[in-house]
């Protein structure tokens, strides 16, 4: 994706920089155009706001 000008992120860091700590580890995954991913990272750029789509999610509200 990056070679094509897009990006992939956890909302905090580049997805390729994530080092797995366990088998079947799950992390938030945001991918798309570089501008859109950077916008999501700006909205969810702190550890306190993860996971991305929790009760304060960007796309919908749970509960």
For the stretch 4-19, pLDDT in tens is: 999 999 888 899 999 9
User: For 17-43, what is the mean pLDDT?
Assistant: 91
Phi/psi for 33 (5° steps) reads -65, 150
Nearest to 51 by CA among 20, 25, 29, 22: 29
What is the predicted pLDDT for the residue at 55? 56
Kindly tell me if the per-residue pLDDT of 33 is higher than 80.
yes
Chain mean pLDDT for the chain = 79
What is the predicted pLDDT for the residue at 1? 84
User: For 28-47, what is the mean pLDDT?
Assistant: 84
For the chain, the structural domain boundaries read: 2-49
């Amino acid at each position: 994706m990056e070679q094509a000008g897009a990006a992939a992120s956890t909302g905090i860091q580049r997805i390729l920089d994530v080092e797995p700590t366990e088998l079947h580890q799950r992390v938030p995954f945001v991918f798309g155009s570089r501008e859109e991913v950077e916008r999501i990272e700006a909205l969810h750029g702190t550890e306190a706001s993860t996971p991305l789509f929790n009760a304060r999610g960007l796309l919908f509200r749970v509960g």
